[in-house]
Amino acid sequence: MASGEEIRRATELLARARRPVAFTGAGVSAESGIPTFRGSGGLWENYRVEDVATPEAFERNPRLVWEFYNLRREAVFRAEPNPAHRALARLEELFPNFVLITQNVDRLHQRAGSKKVIELHGNLCEVRCTGCGRTFDKTGVRLEWPPRCAECGELLRPAVVWFGEALPLDAWRAAEEAANASDCMLVIGTSAQVYPAAGLIAMARRHGAAIVEVNLEPTAASEMAAISIYGKAAEVLPQIVEAIEWARQSGEMR
Ligand code: BJW
Ligand code: ZN
């Protein structure tokens, strides 16, 4: 359980920020019923990364890869944003320069109302043609096998970033810019093990940002954090938002 003192310290750091950034990972969606990747109950416990999340795996066995992603797509379409997603959407309203950088592919931040979202690892709603490169929005659509491009007939793939693939350049540049300019970065629900995304935390730190971590347990980011709050994102974040709203109303912080 996060203590009142921890919430107060985190709130203090965030409340005075001019350029707050949130950097999120799979833990934010855990309470929406979406499994994380690493750790017990994580996706990589039942699937080998090399079999389902690399370009080589897709070349070798597109059907197996699509089976994995169809299950994930269905779970995500059924899921609902949780109080952590909603708290982050509220922060965007409270701070004019707030930027949300996510590694998540589930689009739950956007569904909770966040507008300034930088997606580093793509998303499960869209698909991309392996032939002509066009992307298509297939939110909520059950894909036939084999899924083919309506324009050129080539095979479609999930529009996510697999291991060994470059991150979308525009998203990466925007994320670097936000991290470098940030004075407070919330690092929420990520093991901070996957690069280059995890490198944004050190980048922000180097440029003077206070790192506030919210996670169930210590991670690779913990040693960079000014404060780590160990608890569920869906419980901790609403408390921080509430404290900021309360402080603003009572004129304590501006
Ligand atoms: C809670 C909670 C609750 C739970 N509340 N918290 C060696 C060294 C350095 C780098 C490399 C290396 N070998 C290979 C690399 C590169 C590789 C990499 O980083 N590997 C590392 C694993 C070692 N990176 C890449 O390949 C990247 N590309 C690249 O480097 O390209 C180079 C290049 C340049 C130019 C041209 C060509 C190439 C791409 C990485 C793509 C990652 N993709 C995935 C899959 C997306 C699609 C899909 O969903 O299937 O992205 S992998 C997976 O990990 C997914 C996630 O976004 C990402 C991060 O995971 P995340 O979010 O941190 O989740 P978990 O499960 O790890 O952690 C969850 C956390 O939540 C835990 O800490 C829990 O405690 C916590 N938690 N419940 C709060 N309720
Ligand atoms: Zn095509």
> What's the domain range around 70?
35-78+123-160
Average of per-residue pLDDT across 78-100: 98
Domain count along the chain: 2
Of 37, 85, 157, best ligand 1 pocket probe by most atoms within 8 Å of the beta carbon: 37
DSSP result, 78-118: H----HHHHHHHHHHHH-TT-EEEE---S-HHHHTT--SEE
Q: How far is the CA of 159 from the centre of ligand 2 (A)?
A: 13
With tokens 């470098």, the residue in question is 180
pLDDT band at residue 253, thresholds of 50, 70 and 90?
low
Of the three residues 138, 160, 182, the one that is the final residue of a domain is 160
pLDDT (tens digit per residue) in 181-211: 999 999 999 999 999 999 999 999 999 999 9
Q: Are 188 and 221 in contact (CB under 8 A)?
A: no
Distance 183 CA to ligand 2 centre (A): 42
Q: Give the pLDDT confidence score for residue 133 in this predicted structure.
A: 98
Q: State whether 203 and 146 are in the same domain.
A: no
Q: What is the CATH number of the domain that holds 58?
A: 3.30.1600.10
Do 195 and 140 fall within a single domain? no
Q: What per-residue confidence (pLDDT) applies to 251?
A: 79
Ligand 1 within 6 A of 158 CB? no
Looking at the fold, whether 178 and 224 belong to one and the same domain comes out as yes
Q: Domain containing 249 — which CATH number?
A: 3.40.50.1220
Q: Residue 160 is inside which H or E element, if any?
A: strand 156-160
**DSSP string covering 212-237, please?**
EEEESS--TTGGG-SEEEES-HHHHH
From CA 174, how far away is CA 147, in angstroms rounded?
Answer: 32
Nearest CA among 134, 165, 187 for reference residue 24: 187
Residues 64 and 94 in one domain: no
